[in-house]
Chains A and B, each alone.
Chain A
Amino acid sequence: MKHLFSVLFLSFLTSCAFQAHAQSHQLSGYIQDEASGEMLLGATLWCESVQAGTGTNAYGYYSIALPTGTHQLTVSYIGYTPQIYEVQLSGDLKLDFELSAGIAIDEAVVTGEAFNRIEDQVQMSKIEIPMDQVRRLPAIGGEVDLLKSLQLMPGVQSGGEGTSGLYVRGGSPDQNLIILDGVPLYSVSHLFGFFSVFNSDAVKQMTITKGGFPARFGGRLSSVLEVNMKDGNMKEVHGTANMSIIASKFMVEGPIVKDKASFMISGRRTYMDFLINPIIKGINRRNQDIQTNPRYFFYDLNGKVNWRAGDRDRIYLSFFNGKDDFGLAATENSGVSQTSIDFTLDWFNSVAAARWNHEWLSKLFSNLTVTRSEYVFNTGIEFAETENAASDSTTERFNSLYRSGILDYSARLDFNCALTNAHYLRFGGNITLHQFNPGATTFQAEFGQSFPSIDTTLGAEGVRSVERFVYIEDEIQVSKRFKANLGLHGALLKVNGTAFASLQPRVALNYRLRNGGALKASYARMNQFVHLLTNEGLSLPTDLWVPATNRIDPQSSQQWAAGWAKTFGALECSVEGYYKSMEGLLSYREGASFSNTVNADWEDQVRQGIGTAYGLEFLLQKKQGRTTGWIGYTLSWAERQFDEINSGNWFPYTYDRRHDASVVLMHRFSDHIDFSATWVYGTGRALTLPESTFRAFVPTSFTGYSPQLNGTDVFIPSAKNTYRQSPYHRADLSLTFVKEKGGFTRSWIFSVYNVYNNLNPFFSLVDENEDGSRSIREYGVFPSIPSIAWRAEF
């Protein structure tokens, strides 16, 4: 490794010396959508005369060095008509380019000048699904979900039927860094994981990186999911409204000052509570003695303001709020007494960010981000009983509230420096103050007049930690055929007087073959200072975020990946193999779960272990044209070992999935009719099941009062995750009818989830049969689900 860095450092010096002699000027600026002024992230600019190109960064900014003279520049972006511009350079020049969307129906012309094809990118293991395709995918209940669309990609798996959790290359859900406009999110689920918090109408772009992580990313082991919200239309007011059987949502964007400042606001809310209430009222009318009142809703709200403060400055302010609220109240009235019970479970995310982009020189661009991110989970129960005597009434009341959460304040400064066309340098740093509240329970009780009241709080010990990192990475054009991205990420966590430091080298290599394809390889060491205490069976809001402490080590991983990629006309093809080793993985100890962590020290309830994951991924993708889609296949293994779990033996991870395949097809019959279909297949989930039973006994007395024994049946489980659920497979269809009239575009979207009604296993139970025998059965809960949604755009 040291030798490699020496060679590349030498190449860096040689390249700089060469560039210093050439008379070159810097061309820089932004590439944006012509109609809306929206920045295009990852758009490319190619100069044929010097055979050099560049791409826009995460803020739509580009910078390229070109010699004096006139140049033809091809500017392109997926879904947009490539434009050719002629530029005369005699000095540094700042120039913004605009592209217009409009090659959706006709087959795409993939220009030879395209710079950012899969084989050109040094970065491997990165997937981007155009938002236009995400919105066209079939969706359960008509509610399009970003994370579920990612689950259709190789190397990314779902946690279970209908859920939006991501399991990337054998990693756990907490190992995914999910960033919304630069702010890490800790919980991204609504409705107990069935929907993600992202409103697809408000999102401009999303990319997921599964390996070969550039040095600018850190803090998680398995993936980085970047979600960027729309900046807001700079030209005119536009909006969308969408109604499905699950929820309604809207998005409005427009200029505050034309071409200077814009806004975007979007919201979504379920109406399950409104739909259920009349039914519940009807039931309550028939049974006056017992009144029940279940409730559930979720909402999310996104907003963003984008201000061009000058030629060199842009300021973005954004926020996101999302909440789920579940409750069940019941009251029983017997005339002389009234008993009521009220159970609540709610969780919410609140994030806010301010970003300042500044172009210092034509080569140097910076972004400063200041963020606040909060996740809070509450669950409580309130019980009250009132006795109505003739002369007096007494009330006994008891309530308990459990509250956990995490609050982060963070500041991050990134620099992008187009040092030469052969060196694109990125460096920066970040500081985050974490306040973990792993759980506090408040009890309050009134017992009439006979006993004193109780008001106490248990387990309120919060943990504060400060996490810092710095990074530097250089994307190097070593030779005409060889590119590299070398980087170093250094991180430090201080918590309760203990410090954890790590140096994480990152290497990504790309060698262009003579036939046009590319061989790629990468190595990344990652470190993670936070853990998610979760039950492997189902991801719930009860999952606790906890920090590394003096008793709990951070997680770390090393991932090696190698692959081949090539574009065949409109088709991108890639094959990648990976091997990942992980340390410091956290699991509840045997027999522990959230319920016995509530009043106990969570550090006593967990164990740490190691894991490996390896596999092969294949992806064939068509992103443009009338017919688009992809075929993905993953062959993988994921195993874990904990000294005090499964007798210390290695076991398959719950989401170890030998085969995982998906086929996605989208076709536009015309401007008015759009069709999409998906089919997925996955090996069944690994399970631990009770295999046998024996009768155990406890003496009723240990001191001789009675020699009797009390018997109890004990189930003996199999070795951990020995069994498998049935394989999972499902097909979904969607058909959209579009009509335009008077500046409005209206769409009716018909979709069917699980179209051939294959009842996939959701959970397994030991059942007692009528004859006393037992059976272990798999149960499915999702049959065919048709749905209809309506969408309007203006």
Chain B
Amino acid sequence: MKHLNLLPALILCATGCGKFGDGVVREIDFPEHDPKIAVTFMARPLADSLVARAHSSAGILDSIGSKRIKEAVYTLEHATGNSITWGGEADWVEGLGHVLTDVELEDGNWTLTVEAPEFEAVTAEQVMPPQIDSVGIYAYSYATAIEDEFVEENEENTYLSRTIDFSLTLPNRPDAADYFLVRAQKIFNWEDFEEDEDEDEEVKFGGYVVLNPRVEDDPRIVWNQLCRGYLIQDINPVEALNGLPFQLFQEAWGPELEAISAEPIVIEVCAISAEMARYYDRLDLIQNTGNGPLSAEPLLAYSNISSGYGCFGLYTSSILPLTFE
């Protein structure tokens, strides 16, 4: 009987704990990755310059990762046969990408082709959305009202905070899906601001603007962290985008109330293609979900590039400068 008492102790000794180490069971092997072209080119009808980027996809275990393809050549061809070609080393601008200048794109269907040595050529098609503007057949409208304002002034500084009700009506075609990107920017005349020589001195000029929908979880209005704006979709065809209720919250500080309160709040309104909306919506979801055991269902990135990755998107844009004095 007594010798049986030793059994548990012997078992414990036999098991040992050396194998536990850092908990690694094994490394998972992956098949060889076949690199493909990943393109980003978002274009609007008129622009001084637009940037295209082509990168190679890379295997997950590749230490260098996705590499830029300086040799990539882009051809943008309209349905009528007009085409624009740019790219290669000549058009590469360090820190930007392949820059296309003096852009003038007409309405209709466009096809983008990207070619690069040692890669399969990739293509994508897009239709230019109608021009969004404050006038015309594809027009937006809006209304604003200051809901609350707080000003605090002292000898050195002035602080302003405002809550502004902002109602936006976007065009809505009955026979087509409409997608928009709306975001707020506070533009400051930074060149007027002279940095104080004393580094310890507090910055006396600044501000920010936050745009929020007033209805929680409105399925038409989805925040996109990557674009720092709201992707808006006409989920219901009739009057779905009339009077979308937003609220702007503005904080600003500077030496004079007059100067800071006159600074315009800039609202960017873009009519974007469905593919562009899907691409950024999906990218945002991927970026904001982890890959741990508690993470969400894994996501495949959306792409409209045949035989490759990325997105060719077309959009039209307009600016609403909101001024409150």
Contacts and interface: CB of A to CB of B under 8 A. Distances in A.
B59 A709 contact: no
Interface string A677-705: 00000000000111111111111011111
A695 B44 contact: no
A719 B212 CA distance: 36
Interface in B268-324: 268, 270, 280, 282-283, 285-287, 289, 291-301, 309-311, 315, 317-319
Interface stretch (B16-24, B84-92, B197-205, B246-254): B16-24
Contacts of B47: 704, 707
A697 B40 contact: yes
B319 A588 contact: no
Given A587-B297, A695-B53, A783 B217 contact: no
Contacts of B95: 708
A726 B26 contact: yes
Nearest to B100: A707
Given A693-B58, A696-B38, A698-B227, A752 B11 contact: yes
Contact of B25 (A710, A715, A779, A784): A779
B296 A593 contact: yes
A763 B293 CA distance: 6
A762 B24 CA distance: 10
Interface in B37-92: 38, 40, 42, 44, 47-51, 53, 55-63, 65-66, 68
B23 A779 contact: yes
A600 B298 contact: no
A714 interface: yes
A599 B25 CA distance: 38
B303 to A, nearest CB: 9
Nearest to B65: A693
Interface stretch (A312-320, A394-402, A466-474, A533-541): A533-541
B293 A537 contact: yes
A296 B215 CA distance: 38
Given A713-B65, A786-B12, A592 B296 contact: yes
Interface string B260-274: 000000001010000
Interface residues of A, number: 88
Contact of B61 (A705, A708, A775): A775
Interface stretch (B27-35, B104-112, B113-121, B170-178): B27-35
A139 to B, nearest CB: 14
Interface in A587-603: 587-593, 595-596, 599-601
A735 interface: yes
B7 interface: yes
A687 to B, nearest CB: 8
Contacts of B294: 535, 537-538, 540, 593
Contacts of B217: 599-601
A723 interface: yes
A711 B287 CA distance: 12
Query: Residue among A590, A646, A755, A762 with the most chain B CB within 10 A?
Result: A590
A538 B296 CA distance: 11
B136 interface: no
A757 B19 contact: yes
Nearest to B268: A703
Query: Residue among A536, A707, A772, A778 with the most chain B CB within 10 A?
Result: A707
A773 B63 CA distance: 4
Interface string A410-422: 0000000000000
Interface residues of B, number: 82
B317 to A, nearest CB: 5
Nearest to A646: B300
B147 to A, nearest CB: 14
Contact of A588 (B49, B296, B310): B296
A267 interface: no
B299 to A, nearest CB: 5
A759 B53 contact: no
A759 B97 contact: no
Contacts of B297: 535-536, 587-593, 645
A330 interface: no
Contact of A647 (B38, B61, B292, B300): B300
A703 B59 contact: no
A257 interface: no
A69 interface: no
B19 A783 contact: yes
Interface string A230-243: 00000000000000
A704 B285 CA distance: 26
A591 B310 contact: no
Contact of B15 (A590, A756, A766): A756
B78 to A, nearest CB: 22
Contacts of A647: 300
Contacts of B318: 703
A106 interface: no
B298 A537 contact: no
A593 B295 contact: yes
Given A591-B299, A599-B217, A709-B51, A757 B26 contact: no
A764 interface: yes
B293 A695 contact: no
Given A590-B298, A696-B38, A786-B8, A708 B15 contact: no
A769 B7 CA distance: 43
B287 A712 contact: yes
A499 interface: no
Given A590-B300, A714-B286, A752-B11, A694 B309 contact: yes
B183 to A, nearest CB: 8
Nearest to B61: A774
B268 A593 contact: no
B15 A695 contact: no
A270 interface: no
Nearest to A756: B15
B257 interface: no
Nearest to B226: A698
B252 to A, nearest CB: 18
Contacts of A690: 60, 291
A765 interface: yes
Given A601-B217, A763-B293, A696 B40 contact: yes
A784 B299 contact: no
B298 A786 contact: no
A735 B8 contact: yes
Given A714-B283, A776-B30, A694 B57 contact: yes
B95 to A, nearest CB: 8
Nearest to A754: B15
A444 to B, nearest CB: 17
A91 B97 CA distance: 100
B99 interface: yes
6 closest residue pairs by CB, A with B? A593-B296, A773-B63, A694-B38, A591-B285, A784-B15, A750-B8
Given A672-B1, A702-B44, 7 more contacts: A690-B60, A709-B97, A714-B286, A717-B300, A765-B291, A778-B28, A779-B23
Interface of A: 458, 535-538, 540, 587-593, 595-596, 599-601, 604, 645-647, 672-673, 688-699, 701-705, 707-717, 720, 723, 726, 733, 735, 737, 750, 752, 754-757, 759-766, 769, 771-781, 783-784, 786, 788
23 contacts: A537-B292, A590-B285, A593-B296, A599-B217, A645-B297, A673-B4, A694-B55, A697-B53, A702-B42, A704-B47, A707-B96, A707-B99, A712-B283, A716-B301, A717-B300, A752-B12, A763-B293, A766-B60, A772-B63, A776-B27, A777-B28, A784-B12, A784-B15
